[in-house]
Amino acid sequence: MKLQLEITHAGTTQRCETSLQVLVEWERKYKKRAGDLASGFALEDLAFMAYASLKRAGQTVGDFESWLQKLDDVQVLGGEDSNPTVAADTAAN
């Protein structure tokens, strides 16, 4: 599953995308499962995923708490399931 996020940090707006590695890092830090996101998530979840995505891309440095102090906004632009279900052909022969 991938999430496209848009953040405003220290007055600058940018987009980032989560990866499998970011979701695993989030699961380990917050002791949650990716499946839990279907029932909703906290702003801290989104903020951490944005931070981890940017850090992995080399676009931010430092610790999460310091970075969070300058975060102005975070939004989900969209998402993509990495294992989409393909509909089966049910036409009778």
For 13-25, give one letter per residue: b (16+ CB within 10 A) or e. eeebbbbeebbeb
**pLDDT at position 84:** 45
Average pLDDT, the chain: 87
Q: Name the pairing type of β-strands 71-80 and 12-17.
A: unpaired
Name the percent of the chain lying above pLDDT 70.
84
Least confident residue range of 6-20, 53-67, 76-90: 76-90
- As a whole number of angstroms, the distance between CA 88 and CA 14 comes to 39
**pLDDT at position 81:** 57
Q: Which residue has the tokens 């699961």?
A: 27
**pLDDT at position 89:** 52
- Is pLDDT larger for residue 32 or for residue 93? 32
Model's pTM, two decimal places?
0.81
